[in-house]
């Protein structure tokens, strides 16, 4: 098929040419004497992305799911009580991981389309006078439903109640794209993966750990070996790893961090917001609705869009791929057939986001959802023009010309 695939699933995301080239290197000796000159600055720079000064960031050769397991097994003991709200496929899977690892998992079911239920968390934690709950989990950005939760709000509740539970955050589809402040929000364990905001191939689980969580590992009795923080701590100190690191990805990570810092994290967040908002304008112009209920929780990295009653969102995704080589995200689990997703995270610019919107618009009509041709594209175009960082200047130029 001529042309290229348009990748708009919410991870894996597009790998920038710069990162691809940075990874096109021969394999090397990971014990060579100057290897730490690559790794030591990486650990420091990752802390800037996680926004922690006092914490540590570990790099595991795994996907994000391995990061979940690392966070849990290093800091808890068998039978410990953990609290997790389930409102999408990713919060569901993290809760399931806790159950399967033998934790006493209190799962709070929430409508898919809503976020972490602050009031319920407060009531549950307030009632937990004996501090039986050791871990409070929050899926910051639920990638299945396009909902971003209030992590800072959960921290405030813990602080108000003087509850000592550790705060665990799944930031796989948020860290590096959305405002995330590990230290300011008092996050104890923060999990990211390489194939979303970091614009890399799958293969790194990146875990931020607070000093409090590092302390907790000393008494945590869960079995762990491959993901043991102790081994990482000891070896990372000198710039080494306890086993062969994913060296190719580490070169990519260096370039990824260079790109994020060159753009500036605040600008990265602002860009994600603009593309998300452009997508939402298109959805509104089509007369469709998002799965996310409350505008305050709309995700800036992924939009899950409901198809009207009687239509199958799987047909939207399959048709997009088969006819136009456009990859959209399927609806997962409870929302299978009901939503399709446009991932708008990572290495994107205006015309790329418009390609996804234009393609989606064609597909919707192809499957019989007769949105007005051009309506979503026009709404997004005008929003992107009006909010372009240079648009003020452009208006000025035209006036004086």
Ligand X SMILES: *Cc1c(COP(=O)(O)O)cnc(C)c1O
Considering only 24-32, 60-68, 231-239, 268-276, which stretch makes contact with ligand X by CB under 6 A? 60-68
- Minimum distance from residue 301 beta carbon to ligand X (Å): 8
If binding is defined by CB under 6 A, does position 14 make contact with ligand X? no
Query: Comparing C-alpha atoms, which of 149, 121, 145 is closest to residue 135?
Result: 121
Query: 51 with 182: CB under 8 angstroms?
Result: yes
Q: In the beta sheet, which residues pair with residue 56? A: 209
- Minimum distance from residue 73 beta carbon to ligand X (Å): 15
Using CB under 6 A, pick the residue from 55, 61, 64, 376 that binds ligand X.
64
If binding is defined by CB under 6 A, does position 139 make contact with ligand X? yes
If binding is defined by CB under 6 A, does position 8 make contact with ligand X? no
Considering only 63-71, 232-240, 269-277, 320-328, which stretch makes contact with ligand X by CB under 6 A? 63-71
Considering only 37-45, 50-58, 59-67, 95-103, which stretch makes contact with ligand X by CB under 6 A? 59-67
Q: Is the bond leading into 12 cis (omega within 30 degrees of zero)?
A: yes
Q: Which is nearer to ligand X, 177 or 384 (CB)?
A: 177
Write phi, then psi, for 140 (nearest 5 degrees). -60, -50
Cα 44–chain centre separation: 21
Sequence-distant (6+) residues with CB within 8 A of 393 are none
Considering only 165-173, 219-227, 255-263, 339-347, which stretch makes contact with ligand X by CB under 6 A? 165-173
- State the Cα–Cα distance between residues 79 and 222, nearest whole angstrom: 9
Buried b (16+ CB within 10 A) or exposed e, 138-148: bbbbbbbbbbb
Q: Which is nearer to ligand X, 93 or 371 (CB)?
A: 93
If binding is defined by CB under 6 A, does position 77 make contact with ligand X? no
DSSP state letter for 120: H
- Minimum distance from residue 66 beta carbon to ligand X (Å): 7
Buried b (16+ CB within 10 A) or exposed e, 252-289: bbbbbbebbeeeebeebbebbbbbbbbbbbbbebbebe
Binding-residue pattern over the window 173 to 212 for ligand X, x denoting contact by CB under 6 A: x-------------------x--------x----------
Tell me the H-state helices in 340-390: 350-366, 375-387
Sequence-distant (6+) residues with CB within 8 A of 369 are 286, 288, 307, 308, 311, 316
Q: Which is nearer to ligand X, 303 or 377 (CB)?
A: 303
If binding is defined by CB under 6 A, does position 148 make contact with ligand X? no
If binding is defined by CB under 6 A, does position 172 make contact with ligand X? yes
Q: Which is nearer to ligand X, 9 or 288 (CB)?
A: 9
Considering only 58-66, 221-229, 314-322, 361-369, which stretch makes contact with ligand X by CB under 6 A? 58-66
Q: Which is nearer to ligand X, 245 or 376 (CB)?
A: 245
Residues of this chain, 82-121, that bind ligand X according to CB under 6 A:
90
Considering only 115-123, 168-176, 334-342, 358-366, which stretch makes contact with ligand X by CB under 6 A? 168-176
Q: At what angle do helices 375-387 and 391-400 cross, to 10 degrees?
A: 80
Query: Could you report how far apart the first and last alpha carbons of the chain are, in Å?
Result: 45
- Minimum distance from residue 59 beta carbon to ligand X (Å): 14
Pairing of strands 166-170, 189-193: parallel
If binding is defined by CB under 6 A, does position 143 make contact with ligand X? yes
Considering only 129-137, 167-175, 217-225, 388-396, which stretch makes contact with ligand X by CB under 6 A? 167-175
Half-sphere exposure of 173 (CA within 13 A, CB side): 28
Residue nearest to ligand X (CB): 64
- Minimum distance from residue 68 beta carbon to ligand X (Å): 7
Tell me the H-state helices in 246-307: 247-263, 265-286
Which residues of this chain interact with ligand X, rule CB under 6 A? 11, 63-65, 90, 139, 141, 143, 170, 172-173, 193, 202
């Amino acid at each position: 098929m001529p042309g290229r695939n348009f990748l708009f699933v919410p991870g894996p995301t597009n790998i920038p040419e710069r990162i691809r080239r940075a990874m096109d290197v021969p394999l090397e000796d990971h014990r060579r004497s100057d290897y730490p000159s690559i790794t030591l600055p990486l650990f420091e720079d990752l802390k800037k992305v996680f926004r922690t000064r006092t914490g540590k960031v570990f790099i595991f050769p795994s996907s994000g799911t391995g990061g979940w397991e690392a966070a849990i097994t290093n800091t808890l003991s068998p039978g410990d009580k953990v609290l997790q709200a389930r409102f999408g496929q990713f919060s569901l899977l993290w809760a399931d991981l806790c159950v399967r690892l033998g934790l006493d998992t209190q799962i709070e079911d929430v409508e898919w389309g809503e976020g972490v239920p602050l009031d319920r968390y407060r009531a549950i934690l307030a009632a937990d006078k004996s501090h039986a709950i050791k871990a409070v989990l929050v899926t910051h950005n639920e990638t299945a439903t396009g909902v971003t939760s209030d992590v800072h709000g959960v921290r405030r509740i813990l602080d108000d109640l003087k509850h000592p539970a550790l705060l665990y955050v799944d930031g796989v589809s948020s860290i590096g794209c959305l405002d995330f402040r590990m230290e300011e929000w008092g996050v104890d364990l923060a999990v990211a993966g390489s194939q979303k905001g970091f614009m890399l191939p799958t293969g790194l689980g990146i875990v931020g750990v607070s000093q409090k969580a590092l302390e907790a590992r000393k008494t945590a009795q869960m079995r762990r070996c491959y993901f043991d923080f102790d081994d990482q701590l000891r070896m990372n100190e000198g710039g080494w790893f306890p086993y062969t690191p994913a060296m190719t990805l580490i070169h990519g990570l260096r370039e990824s961090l260079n790109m994020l810092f060159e753009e500036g994290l605040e600008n990265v967040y602002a860009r994600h917001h603009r593309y998300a908002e452009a997508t939402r304008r298109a959805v509104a112009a089509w007369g469709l609705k998002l799965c996310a209920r409350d505008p305050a929780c709309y995700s800036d990295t992924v939009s899950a869009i409901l198809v009207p009653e009687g239509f199958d969102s799987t047909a939207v995704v399959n048709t997009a791929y088969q006819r136009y080589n456009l990859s959209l995200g399927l609806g997962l689990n409870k929302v299978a057939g009901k939503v399709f997703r446009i991932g708008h995270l990572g290495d994107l610019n205006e015309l790329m986001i418009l390609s996804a919107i234009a393609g989606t618009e064609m597909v919707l009509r192809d499957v019989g959802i007769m949105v007005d041709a051009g309506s979503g594209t026009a709404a997004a175009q005008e929003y992107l023009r009006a909010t372009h960082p240079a648009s003020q200047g452009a208006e000025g130029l035209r006036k004086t010309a």
